Structure 1
Amino acid sequence: MKTFGAHPESQHHGHRLAEDLPRMEAQLLERRRALLWLSSSALLASCGGGGGSDSSGASALTAAAVSAAATSGTTAASTSTTSSTSTSTTTSTSSSACPALPAETSGPYPADGTNTASGSTSDVLTASGIVRSDIRSSFISSSTVAQGVALTITLTLQNTNASCAGLAGYAIYLWHCDRSGNYSLYTASAENYLRGVQVTDSAGQVSFTTIFPACYSGRWPHMHFEVFTSLSAATTGKNSVLTSQLAMPSDVCNAIYPNVTGYSASVANLAAVSLATDNVFGDNTAAQIAAMTPTMSGSASAGYTARAVIGLAV
C-alpha cells in the first residue's frame, strides 16, 4: 500500500466530528449569549421609553428569545451530526449489500454465438428450449441427463445504483462443466446439457436446477453466467451487459469430490489450485470473491441449495 505525506493543514485540523464538536458547542454558546444580550437590551429600551410595557411580558419575551437561540443552536448541531451519520450509514449499506460483480472472461466454451466449435459457430441461445429452469438434460439431438450432486441455485440480480432494487425482465444465461470437467457442445460435443436461460421475476430472481460442477485442471471450480437486458437480447449472445463467474465454496467441494462417484478426478485438480492462484479469481479482492461465492446448504447425498446476489450498476 502506498503511503503519502500528510497535507500541512491536516496537522492542525483532524477533520473528524469528535474534534469539531467542542469548537462548535463553544461557538453556539457565544451565539446564544449574544442573542440573549441583544434581546434583553431591546426589551429594556422598549420598557424605558414606552412607560406602559408589562414587565412580565418583557420577561416572557426574553425567555422566548433565549429558548429560540438555544433551540436554534441545538438543532444546528443535531442536524450536522445526523447528516454526517446518515451519509456514512447510507454509503456503507449501498456498497456492502450488493457490490457490483467484476466482469470476467466467458472462457472457451460459452456456446453463445461468439466462437466456434468443431468448425461451426456454436450458439445454443437461439435453440428452442433453451429457456428452462432445469438444465440437467440435453434437449436438441440428445436427451442425456448430466449426472452428479443435485444443486438448485437462485440468483438475484440487483441494481447497485438504486439501493439494491431487483432488476426484473433481465435474462441470465448459466452454463458450467459436468462432473467429469467437460463442457457440452465442446468437449462433450454430442450434448447440450448444463446450459439454460431464465428471465428475472419482479424481485430480480431466477432459479436453476443443475448439478455441482467438477474441478478440472488449472481452474478453481466455477460456473459461468451472462446477463442480458431482455430475453430477445440474449438470443444474439453478443449484447450481454455483464459476463462473469461464480466460485464454488471450498467446503462443499471437499464434501463432494472425495465422496461421490464420478468426481474422483476433481480431488487432485482441486489440491493443485487455489482461489489466489486461479487465473480468473486470483486478481479479485476479498470482498469480490465473497460476492462471487454462493452461499450453500445441504449435503452430498441430499443435494444442495445455493444463493448468490449479482450486483449490476444500471
Structure 2
Amino acid sequence: MGRDEHEDPGLFRDLGRMAQVIERRQALRWLAAAGLVPLFGCGSDDASGGGSDGGTGNGDGSCSVSPEETAGPYPGDGSNGPNALSTSGVVRSDIRSSFGTLSGTAEGILTTVTLTLVNTNANCAALSNYAIYLWHCDQSGNYSLYAQADQNYLRGVQVTDAHGSVSFISIFPACYSGRWPHMHIEVYPSAALATGSGNKIKTTQLALPEDACQAVYATSGYSQSATNLSRVSLASDNVFSDGYSLELATATGNVTDGYTVTLTIGVAA
C-alpha cells in the first residue's frame, strides 16, 4: 500500500517486523481498525511494493510470511477429486509432459520457475528438504486432470536443496477470464509427506509480471490470453487485490529463449 514521503519510516520498519509473527492479512486488518493504515486493494506497483525483489524481503534484512491463498478448484492434491501427488513420477523438475500412465506434452513459451523457501522465524534461513508442489494452467487456460482429464502435465514436486531452492521447467501459463496470470504452490514438510493436501503447511500463489505476460501473449497460441489480460489487473484480481508484493515474481528472458521466473516463499517454520 502507498506510503507518503512524510510518514514516519520507523513505523513501517515495525510493520515489517510484525509481519514475521502475524499473518499478513490479519496484521493489515488490525492496523486498519486502529486507523494506522487504510485497508484497500493496491492499484499500482508503488502501492504494492512493486514486487521488484521477487520475494518476501522487507529491505531491512527481514522477511515476511507469504500470504495464505486458496488452492483453487483444480489442485490435483486429493482435496477436490484427482490426486497427482499419489502418482509415481510426480517428483520431477521438468513438468511439461504428463507422467505415470498418461502421455502428452504442453505447448507454450519455455519457462523455468525457481522458488526459494525461507524460515521467517529464523532470520530468513533457507529451508532444505521441504517439498514444493507447483501447478498451473496450460496455454489454453485449462488445468490437467480437470478440463484436460486425460493429462496430468504442468504439475510436479521438487525437494528444496541446501539453499532452500527448487527449479521447475515448464511453459508460460495462459491468462484465463477473470484471473491475473498465476501459478499455484503448496509447501510440504518433506517429499514423504507430499502425498495429499492434508499434510501441506502453506498454500500460496505466484503472480506473473505484466511486461512478461504482454510479451508472451503477443505470440502464437496465446491470442485469447491477450484479450483476457486487458480485462483484469492485479488490483481487481480476486486473489491478489488485497496486496501482492509478496507474491509478484520477477521474470527475466524473452519469448525466443524463454523466461526465468523467480520468487521467494516465506513460512514460519
The question of a shared fold, defined as TM-score above 0.5 by the shorter chain, is answered with yes
Matched, 1:158 2:158: no
Paired amino acid for 1:306: V
Q: Per-residue CA shift, 1:9-55, capped at 9, x if unaligned?
A: xxxxxxx9xxxxxxxxxxxxxxxxxxxxxxxxxxxxxxxxxxxxxxx
* 1:94 Cα deviation from its structure 2 partner: 4.1
Aligned residues: 214
User: Does the 8 A contact of 1:176 with 1:223 survive in 2?
Assistant: yes
Q: Find the aligned partners of 2:215 and 2:185 in 1 and give their Cα distance.
A: 24
Q: Equivalent residues in 2 for 1:153-302 (5 A)?
A: 153-258=113-218, 260-284=219-243, 289-302=244-257
SS of the residue aligned with 1:281? coil
**Corresponding position of 1:306:** 261
Q: Equivalent residues in 2 for 1:80-95 (5 A)?
A: 93-95=60-62
Paired amino acid for 2:212: V
Paired amino acid for 1:93: D
Q: Could you say which structure has the higher helix fraction?
A: 1
Structure with larger RCO (C-alpha < 8 A, sep 6+): 2
Q: Find the aligned partners of 1:231 and 1:254 in 2 and give their Cα distance.
A: 35
Paired amino acid for 1:114: S
* 1:143 Cα deviation from its structure 2 partner: 2.0
For residue 64 of structure 2, the aligned residue among 93, 99, 110 is 99
* 1:261 Cα deviation from its structure 2 partner: 1.3
For residue 110 of structure 1, the aligned residue among 58, 75, 83 is 75
TM-score between both structures, scaled by the size of structure 1: 0.66
Q: Per-residue CA shift, 1:184-241, capped at 9, x if unaligned?
A: 0001111000000001011111000000100000100000010011111111221111
SS of the residue aligned with 1:310? strand
Q: Find the aligned partners of 2:139 and 2:252 in 1 and give their Cα distance.
A: 19
Taking only the aligned residue pairs, the percentage that are identical comes to 57
Paired amino acid for 1:313: A
Q: Find the aligned partners of 2:168 and 2:59 in 1 and give their Cα distance.
A: 31
Q: Find the aligned partners of 1:239 and 1:104 in 2 and give their Cα distance.
A: 16
SS of the residue aligned with 2:192? helix
User: Does the 8 A contact of 1:94 with 1:160 survive in 2?
Assistant: no
* 1:280 Cα deviation from its structure 2 partner: 0.4
TM-score between both structures, scaled by the size of structure 2: 0.77
**Structure 1 unaligned regions, length at least 5:** 2-15, 17-90, 117-121
User: Does the 8 A contact of 2:145 with 2:151 survive in 1?
Assistant: yes
SS of the residue aligned with 1:256? helix
Paired amino acid for 1:305: T
User: Does the 8 A contact of 1:156 with 1:166 survive in 2?
Assistant: yes
Q: Find the aligned partners of 2:125 and 2:60 in 1 and give their Cα distance.
A: 13
Q: Find the aligned partners of 1:127 and 1:294 in 2 and give their Cα distance.
A: 29
User: Does the 8 A contact of 2:79 with 2:196 survive in 1?
Assistant: no
Q: Find the aligned partners of 1:151 and 1:313 in 2 and give their Cα distance.
A: 29
SS of the residue aligned with 1:283? coil
Q: Find the aligned partners of 1:268 and 1:296 in 2 and give their Cα distance.
A: 21
Q: Find the aligned partners of 1:168 and 1:142 in 2 and give their Cα distance.
A: 31
Q: Which protein is bigger by CA-based radius of gyration?
A: 1
